[in-house]
Amino acid sequence: MKKKMFACCVLVLFAGAAVFAGGGKEPSGAALSGPNAGRTVVFVPKATNSQFWVAIWDGAKKAAQELGYKEVKFQGTSSAADITGQINIFSDVTTSRPAGIIVAVNDAVALKAPIEKAIDSGVPVVTVNAGVNSEKVPIHVATDNYNAGSMGADTLAKLIGEKGTVIFIGIDATSENGRQRENGFRDQIKKYPNIKVLPTQHSQGDISRSMNITADLLTGNPDVVGIFCAQDNGGTGAAQTLKQRGIKDKIKLVSFDASPDEFQLFMDGFLDALVVQDPFMQGYQGIYALDAVINKKPIEKKFVETLVKIVTRDTLSVPDVYDIMARNQAIKDMMRAKGISPRK
């Protein structure tokens, strides 16, 4: 993927109507009756241990209601590291013959065959957030993870004065979006010759593991001035370590996404910036994409890109930033408790 020009906001093909003839718009109306009545679709997330995947599910349920589907089931493993578990769940879901499946893939290689088998058997499949390299998958809905990683690199570089040693905590070695974020980050950080990035450590989406990684690397590298985390649980774990050590003012931390736990640490000053996707819209657009496949509507784009923003405490009241954060009710309540509302 060619690197794009850095920007604090990337928004391409946001509305479903721009991608699928007769597709959806911004979430709004009541459920529709019609050909989808009684149909069930399934969302297979990377894991169930992060609110990020619940937010995708929320978006999926909203779109399904608008399109008249009966329900969206949520079936996944408790850990993104359980690749065999995701394969088994996906295969079981395929056997149950739902109207369609949206899936966030843990391993781009291991899940390719099960996904292609499902499609060959007549079960429509759309990937969201993280996909596989297969021509058989008709649509992928996701962030441009490479560009988002480069945005994170520029953000952290500015926070640390463009010099010093930096920790990079990735997701896992088999994660497609994790690799794209790391490649974007590392390619962009080369612009700053006075920044040294330590070898990548993978949290596997586990908060405790991220805490241990952060503690070990800080102990072994006392010159560290910044940390970048490619996923919300990684950022939560790193921030908790900084909190335990009382060093939030000495080390700058930038992380992907915004779960309620991570956001609370962000509001308390233990994270300095967030690279925020829109998981709700990934789920929402994912169901509209799946509906286009199920009902054989024209498909104009194989990749539907959802927005990503750099969020700091100073930008929370910017209307479009506030809107994306407020899609999570718990985060919306936290902002209201702090008197944060969208600027007029």
Q: What is the pLDDT of residues 291-317, one digit of tens each?
A: 999 999 999 899 999 999 999 999 999
Let me know whether 192 and 230 are in one domain: yes
For residue 303, the model assigns a pLDDT of 95
Does a structural domain hold residue 1?
Answer: no
Residue 6 has phi, psi (to 5 degrees) of -60, 140
285: tokens are 């657009």
Query: Residue 224 is part of which domain span?
Result: 145-277+310-337
Instruction: Tell whether 253 and 185 lie within a shared domain.
Output: yes
**In this model, does residue 30 exceed pLDDT 60?**
no
* CA atoms of 128 and 304, how far apart (whole Å): 9
Contact 51, 334 (CB under 8 A): no
Which run of H or E residues covers position 304?
Answer: strand 303-305
**For the chain, what is the mean pLDDT?**
89
What angle do the packed helices 83-95 and 112-120 form, to 10 degrees? 0
Q: What is the CA radius of gyration of the chain?
A: 20
Count of structural domains, the chain: 2
Q: Identify whether residues 332 and 183 lie together within a single domain.
A: yes
Q: Which are the contacts of 56, defined by CB distance < 8 A and separation ≥ 6?
A: 43, 45, 104, 128, 129, 279, 280, 282, 283, 286
> What pLDDT digit, counting tens, does each position of 121-130 carry?
999 999 999 9
Helix (H) or strand (E) segment spanning residue 125: strand 125-128
Residue 51 is encoded by which pair of tokens?
């609110």
DSSP classification of residue 8: S
Cα Dmax for the chain: 62
**Residues 235 and 118 occupy one common structural domain:** no
Query: CA 116, CA 101: separation in Å to the nearest integer?
Result: 12
Band of pLDDT at residue 205, cut at 50, 70 and 90: confident
User: Cβ contacts of residue 281 below 8 Å, gap of 6+?
Assistant: 14, 59, 306, 307
Encoded tokens for 300:
């104009």
Length of the chain, in residues: 344
For the chain, the first-to-last Cα distance in angstroms comes to 38
DSSP label of 48: S
Q: Are 287 and 239 contained in the same domain?
A: no
| Predicted confidence band of residue 13 (pLDDT cuts 50, 70, 90) | very low
For residues 72 and 193, membership in a common domain is answered with: no
Domain CATH for 251: 3.40.50.2300
In a domain, 4, yes or no: no
For position 166, what pLDDT does the model report? 98
The whole model's pTM is what? 0.81
Q: Are residues 202 and 294 in the same domain?
A: no
